[in-house]
A = this chain, B = another copy of it.
Amino acid sequence: MQAARRRGTSDTRLMVRIAQMYYRMNLSQEQIGERLGLSRFRVGRLLDRALREEIVRIEVVHPDARLVDLEEQLVQRFGLNAAVVADVPAAAGAGPEADDLARNAVAEVAVDYLQARRPAGAIAVSWGRTMLALARRLPDGWTQATEIVQINGATSRSAQPTRANEIVDRFATTTGASIRLLAAPAIVGTPELRSALGEDPGIRETLAAARSAPTAIFGLGIPAADSPHLESGFVSGDEQARLRAIGAVGDIIGRFVDGEGRIAWPMLDERSVGLPLDDLRVKPLSMGLAAGAGRGPIALAAIRGGYINVLATDDATAAWVLAHG
């Protein structure tokens, strides 16, 4: 070709010009070629090079990009079905207010996810502050479900109500589903009492419904002083101390597990009323929510135990999990 340039001559200017024509003026490579007297192939290749040599930069600049990255990494690393990460400005600091912010933020994005996924059939739900925040944000008709089932014991033993009913009601009214309550405490005094409760037809049927529900949505709790699980009186002060001593990192639907997701204290577990953890493993959608400071270990334990296939959490917790998983 006659117009060929000597080797070594830099075509930076040419690439800049082509890049502007292509990306800014939206000309086709062929049009650019005509105007500049180049073949469209050369234009295409220079465009490639402009990208490789960072003459042109393509960036996803939206602030959510960081969060989507975290989600992607969680999914890749742990083989999750999906991950949903909420942004909680670090400026909020620590303490109860920050945790409230985190719960609301996680609830928000979890609802977005659920709304997009639209789980059908029965949905098993737990209770807790994050679940309450989530339930309150569910818009009418976010999905059509047949039945909302409580997944673990929810009647309070103390003056502090669990709000479990509000949660179930909200799920039911927004989806048009019927409800099935688990009229029992989360943890009873003895294994024998737990067995006896299992004989009750109402409780047995609810548990069976929770077991067959294709969807479960529940919070991941930690044994902190302000946990409603503890405030509700299901676990005594001594038991709390013991749990911490033997390495329990938190609870999943009322069952305390260690860092690997194994039952931390079998004796206590036998006193827990609700779906066994193993039944979570086969659910098409098993979503765990971990919002607030110190939730990293229980989130990781839930993942390692295979109890969840969707994790909804805040950015700090997501980062912790990725750093320690």
B61 touches A56 (CB 8 A): yes
* Bound-complex Cα distance A185 to B108 (A): 84
B68 touches A20 (CB 8 A): yes
A61 touches B68 (CB 8 A): no
Total chain A interface residues with beta-carbon distance under 8 A: 40
* Bound-complex Cα distance A60 to B23 (A): 8
Contacts of A42 in B (CB 8 A): none
A118 within 8 A of partner (CB): yes
Given contacts A55-B60, A56-B58, A60-B56, contact A20 B65 (CB under 8 A): yes
User: Which of A2-10, A145-153, A199-207 binds B?
Assistant: A2-10
Question: In residues 86-144 of chain A, which contact B (Cβ within 8 Å)?
Answer: 109, 112, 115-116, 118, 139, 141-142
A54 within 8 A of partner (CB): yes
Given contacts A9-B115, A118-B3, contact A58 B20 (CB under 8 A): no
Given contacts A20-B65, A55-B62, A60-B19, contact A141 B6 (CB under 8 A): yes
Q: A194 CB to closest chain B CB, in angstroms? A: 41
A279 within 8 A of partner (CB): no
B62 touches A17 (CB 8 A): no
A57 touches B54 (CB 8 A): no
Determine which of B55, B62, B109, B141 lies in contact with A61 in the assembled complex, contact meaning CB atoms within 8 Å: B55
A59 touches B57 (CB 8 A): yes
A65 touches B9 (CB 8 A): no
Among residues of B, the one whose C-beta sits closest to the C-beta of A19 is B60
Q: A35-76 toward B: CB 8 Å interface, digit per residue (1/0)?
A: 000000000000000100011111111101101110110000
Contacts of A324 in B (CB 8 A): none
Determine which of B6, B16, B65, B112 lies in contact with A60 in the assembled complex, contact meaning CB atoms within 8 Å: B16
Q: List 19 A-B contacts (CB under 8 A).
A: A3-B116, A6-B139, A6-B141, A6-B142, A9-B112, A9-B116, A12-B62, A13-B109, A17-B72, A19-B65, A20-B60, A20-B69, A24-B60, A54-B62, A55-B60, A55-B61, A56-B59, A57-B58, A57-B59
Question: Which 8 A-B residue pairings sit nearest by Cβ, starting from the closest?
Answer: A55-B62, A19-B60, A16-B68, A57-B61, A16-B64, A23-B58, A58-B58, A17-B68
